[in-house]
Structure formats: C-alpha cells, structure tokens
C-alpha cells in the first residue's frame, strides 16, 4: 500500500515499483492528500506495467547524444550518415538536449528545441526533418542492444509537426527553354535536356546506363542514383522519352565510351561534386533570363574606395559618378537551382495518357 510522509519541508511518496521494490521520491505536493493521490497513481501505474498493460520505464543511463551516435554508426545507411549527422549536430549532439538521458527527454523539451530552430529562421521542412529523425532514433532504440535499449513510450510521438506551406516551384517557362539551351556547354547539354523532359534528379541522370534506355520502346528505366542500385525513392520508374529528348540521348549513347549515358571525359561516372548550378546560372545570365543587372565600379574598388553599385533592369551604358569610368553590367540570374529543372516536366509539359508512365513528373508533350 502506498504511503506518504513529511520530511524537511516536503512530502515524500513511498510505493512499490514495477519490479516489486519499494521506492521513495520527493514531490511538490502542498498537502498530504495531494501527496497520497500521487503515491496511489504511481503504484497503480507500476501494477499496470507489471501486467504488461503499459510500457516499462527505461533505466538506461545513455544520453540522447550517445544514442544518436549509436544510431548513426549502426542503423543509418552510409550514404545518409553525413546528412543526418549534420542535421543532428547543432541542436542535439552539441546542444543541451543531447546531454539529457534518453528517459529524461520529453515532448515539451523537444518542442522547445524545435521552436528555437524556428526563431533561428529555419524552415518548417528543416524542423520537421529533425523531428522525424529523432522519432526514428527512439523507435530504433526500442530494439537496440544494451546499454542503448530504451523501454518506454516514444516521446517524439507527442510532438506535433510544423505546417509546411505549399509553394509554386520556380522553374523555366516554355518559351525560355529555347533561349537557355544555346548557352549551355556541349558537355552539359544532354544532362540539362534530360532533366527538363523527364524530371530526373542529378544523381539519376549521372547513374543512367545505356541498358536503361530503350529507344525502340521510347522508355527510360530509372532504377539507380549515382552508383547506388536504387533511387532516392527506393523504387524504379519507367518514363517515356519525349521526341525533343530522343536525339540528345542517341548522340550521348553513341559518344559514350562506357556503359554510362552521360559519363565524364574519361568515361567514368560524373562526381557528386559536379556543380551544374553554376552552369545554369551562367547560361541564364547569357540568355537574359535575369532579375536585373548590377553595375559596380571596378576602379574605385581596386583603389580601396567604397565602390558605387546600382541595380538596373537593363544594360544601358552607365558611368561612375566619382571616377567617370564606364560601368560593366553583371547579370543577376533568377534564383533557380538545377533541381528546379525537374519541375518543368511537372508544371509545363502536358500530361501523357501513356499507362507505362509511373511517375507524375515524367510527362512528355506531343511532337
């Protein structure tokens, strides 16, 4: 039978836990009746745990940071370890949250961390990403070996997700594609056209093999990313080949010295560090697909003076008011990434009725 007693200005509860051992805990109860209710609740909960009606409490001495390190090394896939470690580093591994024992982490503590991320200006999708990875880590800990095993309810399940506003993805307009492609270098041209007309990701294009392209059936099988035998979505897709894309694929296959469709000059797979975004921004600037032009005085800048800088929508001839030097315009491309090209297939190309189409973004227009 649970009991209470008063000692040194505080009420204590004395009850039998789920193992059958008696425990004593100090409380913040103001009265004896309040302390007795708490003691009765604790003993009833312990009895339900003994009967298997509730989760057993965790007695692990592992901190959340140590649990995260275990998960990164033993449960996270190698290809995602760097990304997930970067996600956890600032707000868990090197933060006060990571120093808490796993059984001390509550939904309120996690929500405080997520709200701090919001105050720091991070996007709702980034906040939800940390919440999702913590939920996965706690779920994995329930089946982990000692001392990382966690017995108890996953506290992240009580943390609400952040609402992510739906945005219209920035991409090229149909009439801009013809203006852009003449300024794309030959080395990148096939990659850009493939992204535009299939919606494939960079890794899927770099990992595309000749055997994945069936020109007779007008199909591309997307089954891998880089050298991994699976895509980011963990599934394969069959995409129809648009008529404007076909000649680029034929030329790339004929010129490739290896089994890759778009290899590097040595016939090997292009590096993950290859940056088509720089190529995209340069081509957009030369094609005039810009937000405006920046005029900066290079002479004043070279002399250590604060250079005059203006933004204009045109390239009309202008001169520095200080040194009278002619100012050369620098294009300010629209904020667009290579990944944005895949949204062209989603938003600009008419949907296909081909039943072989399995991905909603790989749709092709009629010839």
**pLDDT per residue over 213-236, tens digit each?**
999 999 999 988 888 877 777 778
Quote the CA–CA distance of 347 and 169 in Å, as a whole number.
9
pLDDT, one tens digit per residue, over 146-169 is 888 887 778 899 899 999 887 777
Which of the listed residues 158, 191, 214 is the one where a domain comes to its end?
Answer: 158
pLDDT of residue 348: 55
Please give the span between the terminal C-alpha atoms of the chain, in angstroms, as a whole number. 83
The domain in which residue 69 lies consists of 64-158
Report the sign of the C-alpha dihedral through residues 234, 122, 202, 174, in that order: positive
pLDDT of residue 52: 65
Report how many domains make up the chain: 4
SS3 readout for the chain: CCEEEEECCEEEEEEECCCCCEEEEECCCCCHHHHHHHHHHHHHHHHHHHCCCCCCCCCCCCEHHHHHHHHHHHCCCHHHHHHHHHHHHHHHHCCHHHHCEHHHCCHHHHHHHHHHHHHCCCCHHHHHHHHHHHHHHHHHHCCCCCCCCCCCCCHHHHCCCCCCCCCCCCCCCHHHHHHHHHHCCHHHHHHHHHHHHHCCCHHHHHCCEHHHEECCCCEEEECCECCECCCCCCCCEEEECCCCCHHHHHHHHHHCCCCECCCCCCCCCCCCCCCHHHHHHHHHHHHCCEEEEEEECHHHHHCCCCCCEEEECCCCCEECCCCCCEEEEEEEECCCCHHHHHHHHHHCCCCCCCCCCCCCCCCCCCC
Same structural domain for residues 10 and 46? yes
In a domain, 179, yes or no: yes
In a domain, 362, yes or no: no
pLDDT, one tens digit per residue, over 39-98 is 888 888 777 767 766 655 556 788 999 999 999 999 998 878 988 999 999 999 999 999
In a domain, 355, yes or no: no
Same structural domain for residues 181 and 256? yes
Q: What CATH number did the domain enclosing 120 receive?
A: 1.10.150
- Please choose, from the candidates 179, 144, 161, the residue with its C-alpha nearest in 3D space to the C-alpha of residue 68: 144
Cα angle 326, 331, 332; round to 5: 130
Same structural domain for residues 268 and 196? yes
Quote the CA–CA distance of 83 and 86 in Å, as a whole number.
5
Which of the listed residues 158, 182, 207 is the one where a domain comes to its end?
Answer: 158
pLDDT band at 124 (very low <50, low <70, confident <90, very high): very high
pLDDT, one tens digit per residue, over 326-335 is 888 888 888 8
pLDDT of residue 216: 93
Same structural domain for residues 15 and 34? yes
State residue 321 phi and psi, 5-degree precision. Answer: -70, -15
pLDDT band at 356 (very low <50, low <70, confident <90, very high): very low
In a domain, 352, yes or no: no
Q: What CATH number did the domain enclosing 186 receive?
A: 1.10.443.10
In a domain, 117, yes or no: yes
Same structural domain for residues 148 and 85? yes
Same structural domain for residues 227 and 288? no
Q: How far is CA 225 from CA 207, 212, 214, 235, in A?
A: 5, 12, 18, 11
Same structural domain for residues 185 and 212? yes
Same structural domain for residues 210 and 229? yes
* Cis preceding linkage at 147, omega within 30: yes
Same structural domain for residues 178 and 214? yes
Same structural domain for residues 262 and 210? yes
What contacts 52, CB < 8 A, 6 or more positions away? none
* Cβ(102)–Cβ(60) below 8 Å: yes
In a domain, 359, yes or no: no
In a domain, 55, yes or no: no
Same structural domain for residues 257 and 287? no
| Tokens found for residue 95 | 């933060």
Largest CA distance in the chain: 94
In a domain, 317, yes or no: yes
Same structural domain for residues 45 and 107? no
């Amino acid at each position: 039978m649970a009991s209470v007693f008063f000692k040194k200005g505080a009420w204590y509860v004395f009850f039998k836990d789920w193992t059958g051992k008696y425990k004593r805990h100090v409380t913040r109860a103001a009265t004896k009746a309040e302390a007795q209710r708490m003691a009765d609740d604790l003993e009833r909960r312990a009895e339900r745990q003994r009967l298997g009606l509730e989760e057993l409490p965790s007695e692990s001495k592992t901190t959340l940071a140590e649990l995260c390190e275990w998960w990164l090394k033993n449960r996270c896939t190698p290809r995602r370890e760097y990304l997930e470690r970067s996600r956890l580093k600032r707000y868990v591994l090197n933060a006060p949250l990571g120093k808490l024992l796993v059984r001390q982490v509550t939904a309120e503590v996690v929500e405080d961390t997520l709200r701090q991320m919001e105050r720091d200006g991070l996007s709702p999708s980034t906040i939800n990403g940390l919440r999702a990875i913590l939920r996965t880590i706690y779920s994995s800990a329930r089946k982990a070996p000692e001392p990382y095993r966690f017995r108890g309810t996953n506290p992240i399940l009580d943390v609400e997700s952040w609402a992510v506003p739906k945005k219209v993805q920035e991409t090229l307009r149909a009439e801009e594609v013809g203006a852009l492609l003449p300024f794309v270098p030959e080395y990148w041209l096939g990659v850009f056209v493939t992204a535009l007309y299939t919606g494939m990701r960079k890794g899927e294009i770099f990992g595309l093999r000749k055997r994945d392209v069936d020109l007779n059936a007008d199909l591309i099988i997307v089954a891998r990313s880089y050298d991994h035998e699976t895509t980011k979505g963990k599934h394969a897709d069959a995409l129809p080949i648009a008529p404007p894309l076909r000649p680029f694929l034929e030329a790339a296959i004929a010129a490739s010295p290896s089994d890759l469709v778009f290899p590097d000059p040595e016939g090997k797979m292009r590096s993950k560090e290859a940056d088509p975004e720089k190529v995209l921004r340069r081509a957009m600037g030369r094609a005039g697909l810009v937000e405006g032009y920046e005029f900066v005085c290079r002479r004043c800048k070279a002399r250590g003076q604060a250079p005059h800088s203006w933004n204009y929508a045109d390239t009309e001839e202008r001169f520095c008011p200080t040194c009278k030097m002619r100012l050369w315009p620098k294009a300010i491309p629209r904020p667009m990434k290579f990944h944005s090209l895949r949204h062209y297939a989603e938003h600009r190309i008419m949907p296909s009725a081909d039943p072989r189409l399995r991905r909603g973004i790989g749709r092709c227009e009629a010839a």
